[in-house]
Structure 1
Amino acid sequence: MRILTLSGSLRARSTNASLLRAAAALAAAAGATVTSGDIGALPHFNPDLDGAGAEPPAPVGALRRAVSEADAVLIVSPEYAHGVPGVLKNALDWLVSSGEFIDRRVGVITGSPSPTGGDYAHAQLRETVRMMTGTVVDEACLTVGTIGGKLDRQTGEITDTGLTSQLADAVQALTAR
């Protein structure tokens, strides 16, 4: 099983990046090959850069190849102002019409300092993936509230055993065939 991870946060010490690293480590320990997609280098979405006969910008082509080579995609993202971070939405916009997401298994995890766990962004991401005809694996989706209290502030490691168990279950569901 090949899993591509996409982070909705570009901050190196983001709590969602910590969730992503933990989920990736659990997937690798279960035998999956995990790669990380780079969405920070993507240009702003502009269909004129990708029209008929045009070669997409190199970072767009690389992202599309990474998605097409994956059996599943795991998206881990914060919620900004009750929505999906712009950098992640931009990446998904580049993938909408190119077809790589069709029937791809997708898990969505959102984490937030709020007790609701980023449920607005979570719902938006799931709907966007469905519209892109990805297969949202419900059991691989998770909202994580009050995330700061579940991580070591220095290392970013998860300190909450319940959260580790939930991540393991989500990864297992995503990798089940």
Structure 2
Amino acid sequence: MTTLHAAPVRRVLCLAGSLRRDSWNRRLLRAAMAQAPATLQLDVYDALAAVPLFDEDLEQHDPAGPAGVQALRAAIAAADGLVIATPEYNHAIPGVLKNALDWLSRESPAGDVLPEKPMAVLGASSGPWGTRLAQASLRQVLHTCGALVMPAPTLFVAGAASRFDTDGTLTDPATAQSLQGFMLAFERWMARVAPPLARPEPVVAARR
């Protein structure tokens, strides 16, 4: 009999900084799911629209925040890492993404979810710059919130319209290869900065 140990799986929450259902960055995250190693379980968060505009009056009414904020906070808390794919609006991150981060940065009875959370930032746009300025802006916000943002590699997907087909599937081999390397690097980053996962129960295989 041979005793094997199944590799632990880390849960990664993926957040697109756009509300558009078929945005380039949502497509990029779906492609990341296909390119990620088997030791990562990626889930795309689809309820960012439920987060209201930040309002301290709402916060005073319920320190845990509105239901949409609580749901996002709980999803991040349950994940081992967070990947954010951001568009670039007027050389900065979208307001809806900044608004969500403002909510998450506030103290909550449920606990803080941004400090010391391993994170990675990437982005896609139809223009020639691939969200470079937006990613720089997002990194600044995340660092301010205490997140552990992977410094490299970076991934700026420009000319997104030529990299996905009409069904939203990534068809560009170079981008797919870069995305695969990006996710492998994030796996190593989480292993480096996050507490080790509990060792799984051994899997006993019959010796042939």
| Same fold, TM-score > 0.5, yes or no | yes
CA radius of gyration, larger in? 2
Q: Is the 8 A contact 1:107 1:140 kept in 2?
A: no
Is 1:30 the counterpart of 2:43? The answer is no
Q: Is the 8 A contact 2:121 2:135 kept in 1?
A: yes
1:172 counterpart residue number:
184
Q: 2:98 aligns with which of 89, 98, 112?
A: 89
Instruction: Extract structure 1 runs of 4+ deviating beyond 4 A.
Output: none
Query: What are structure 1's unaligned runs of at least 5 residues?
Result: none
Q: Is the 8 A contact 1:5 1:24 kept in 2?
A: no
Determine the C-alpha separation between the residues in 2 that align with 1:140 and 1:76. 14
2:157 counterpart residue number:
144
Provide the TM-score with structure 2 as the length reference. Answer: 0.78
1:40 counterpart residue number:
49
Q: Is the 8 A contact 2:27 2:169 kept in 1?
A: yes
Determine the C-alpha separation between the residues in 1 that align with 2:129 and 2:71. 34
SS in 2 for 1:5: strand
- Opposite residue 98 of structure 2, the aligned amino acid is K
Change (3 A) 1:9 1:52: closer
CA deviation map 1:62-91 (0-9, x unaligned): 111111111110001211111111111111
Out of 97-106 and 123-132, give the one that drifted further.
Answer: 97-106
Shift of 1:14: 1.4
1:66 counterpart residue number:
75
Q: Is the 8 A contact 1:72 1:175 kept in 2?
A: no
SS in 2 for 1:158: coil
Change (3 A) 1:55 1:95: closer
SS in 2 for 1:165: helix
Shift of 1:36: 2.5
Shift of 1:57: 0.9
Determine the C-alpha separation between the residues in 2 that align with 1:162 and 1:133. 33
Highest relative contact order (Cα 8 Å, sep 6+), 1 or 2? 2
Identity %: 37
Q: Is the 8 A contact 2:123 2:157 kept in 1?
A: yes
Shift of 1:149: 1.3
Shift of 1:26: 2.5
Is 1:17 the counterpart of 2:46? The answer is no
Query: What are structure 2's unaligned runs of at least 5 residues?
Result: 1-9, 192-208
Out of 91-100 and 53-62, give the one that drifted further.
Answer: 53-62
Change (3 A) 1:21 1:5: same
Shift of 1:93: 0.9
CA deviation map 1:14-34 (0-9, x unaligned): 11111011112323x523222
Is 1:125 the counterpart of 2:134? The answer is no
Q: What is the alpha-carbon root mean square deviation over aligned residues?
A: 1.7
Provide the TM-score with structure 1 as the length reference. Answer: 0.91
Q: Is the 8 A contact 2:80 2:117 kept in 1?
A: yes
